[in-house]
Structure 1
Amino acid sequence: MALAHYDRRKPKPLRCQQLDDCRLDNPEPLKAAVAQLGLNGASVSWVLSPKDYNLLLVEAPAVDEAEMADALRWRVKDMLSFDIEHAVLDFFELPEDAYRGRSRMLYVAVIQQSVSDRIESLVNGAGMALKALLIPELMLIRLKQLEGETLATAVLGLQSPHSLISMVSEGSLYLTRQVDSDVSLLSPDAVEIETRASGLVLDIQRSLDYYESQIGKPPCLRLLVCPQQPGETPLLGQLRYNLAVELVQLDLGEHIDSETPLTPLLQSQAMMAIAAALPEVES
C-alpha cells in the first residue's frame, strides 16, 4: 500500500511513501504515516486493487439518468459471483464514437459492500475520512494527462500480478483490459524474456487492432509505459522490437515537484496513489 498527499500551496506539493505491511487487517503503518505527515482529518481517495472489484462493459439501459444506477444493478447481477444486493456500483460512459453508432456502452464498476466497509473502517481508524473509491483504469488517464499529449495512445500500466492496457484519445477512454504480468516479468534481470513476454505483447497488439478495426479509429502509434522503468529493461526491449509504435515512458518526476525523490522504485509502488492525489484536470 502507498500513501500520497498533494498540497498545491507548497513549492513541492507532493509527498508520498510506501507503507510496507499495511493491509485492511493491519492499519498500524497507515496510522503512523498519517501522524507523521499531519494528515488527521484529511479526505481520502482510495484506489481499489484489481482483485477487489469487477469492471464490466455493458449496453446502457434505455432509462433516464436518474434511473440508470438501479437499471444497471439489474443488468449486471448475473455477471457477478456475489449478490448484487450487497454491492456498491458506479459507471462511466464511453465516447459517442466508440462503437460506430451502435448501442451506447458503459463501463460498470462493482465492489462488494463488505470490502467498501472494511476500507472505510481502515481510513476512519487512521484518523481520516473516505471521500471516494477509485479504479486504476481511470487513474491511468489522469497520469496520461500529465504529458499533455492528446494523440491516441495505448497506455500500459505495469504492475503485478495484473497490468492494465487502456486506449485513450483526447482524454477519453475507449477500451481497457487487464492482462497477466508476473512480477518477475517486470524485473530488470528478467530471463527468457522473448518467450515470457509474448503474451503481454500479443495482448497489446490485440488492443491496438481492436481500436482500429472494431472501434473504427485511426491507427494508434504511441505506447505510453508507466511507471518509469529502471533503465532499458528486457521487457521494454521486447515491446520496442515487436510493436510498431513509438514507446514513451512516463517519468512522474519530470511532471510533479515532490518532497520525496520519485525514483523508479517509488513510482512503481505509489503510481496509483499519486494519481489519486493529483488535482483533477478537465479533459
Structure 2
Amino acid sequence: MEQLTIGDYTVTWLRGGVVHLDGGAMFGVVPKPLWSKKYPVNDKNQIELRCDPILIQGNGKNMLIEAGIGNDRFTDKQKRNFGITEESFVDEDLRALGMTTADIDEVIMTHMHYDHAAGLVKAVDGEEVPAFENAVIYLSDTEWEETKNPNLRSANTYWKQNWKPVEHKVETFQDERMPVPGIIQQKTGGHSNGMCIVTIEQHDNMLIHMADNMGTHAHQPVLWVTAYDDYPVDSIAAKQKYMDIGCNNEAWFTFYHDYKYRAIQLNSAGDIQASLEKQR
C-alpha cells in the first residue's frame, strides 16, 4: 500500500474498487485528441477510474476520505454499464495494517455520488448496515440535503441504498470543519453543490485533496472539468484557488480516482516535480 507522511499524519491508500467511465464525459468539452494524450482510453472509449479510499492516521484518530464502491452493491447490469472490473478490498487492506472496519473513527465524504458512497454500506445476515460500524460520516449540509432530495439530474447518482442505512451515522456542517489539528474539510461546491475539498497542513507540509474537482492528474488544466459536474464554473473557481495555493507551497495533490498516481507535487510552472505512483 502506498503511503505519504504529512506532518503528524500518515496517509495510506486502500483498494476500494475500479470503474470505467466514458472518457468524453470525464473530460467534458475537451476534444479526445487532447485528453487521450494524457490519460489512456480503451476501445470502448472508457477510462479506468479507481475508487480508492484514503486512510489518514494521526492525533489518535483513524479517518477515511471516501468509502469506495463496496462489495455486492451493484447489479450485473450496473457492473456492465459502469465498467466495474474490481470491487472493494478495503477490509483486506485494513487487516494488513492490523486494523478492522471497527477501528475507523470517521469517514470524510467529499460528496455522496455512488462511486464514492456505495462502500458506506454492507450486508450482514441479509440486512444492510454501516460498513464502518463505529464511524461518524461527515459531509456538508448542502450535500446531505441533495443526497436525500436529488433533482432530476442528480437522482442518477444519489442512490437511497447508499445513504438510508447510514443516515443515523451522518453529521453535517455548514462551511468547514477541523476534525483534528491541521486537517480541514471545506465546502467549495463544483462537481456537486455541496462538494468538499480536504486539506492537511502541518510542519511546512501540505496536502490538497480536491476529489472530483480535479479527479485525475490529467484534469490539471483549470478548464478541464467533467460533464458530470453540476456546477462547472464553481469547479473551475475551486481549482484555480487551490492549484495556486498548492503550486506555490509544494503541496501534494492527492487522488481517489487516478489510475496511475496516488499523489503529485507541482512546481510553480505546473509541472510534476515529484509523484507517488500506484504499485502495480
With normalisation by structure 2, the TM-score equals 0.29
Q: Which structure is higher in RCO with an 8 Å CA cutoff and minimum separation 6? A: 1
The structure whose residues are more often helix, as a share, is 1
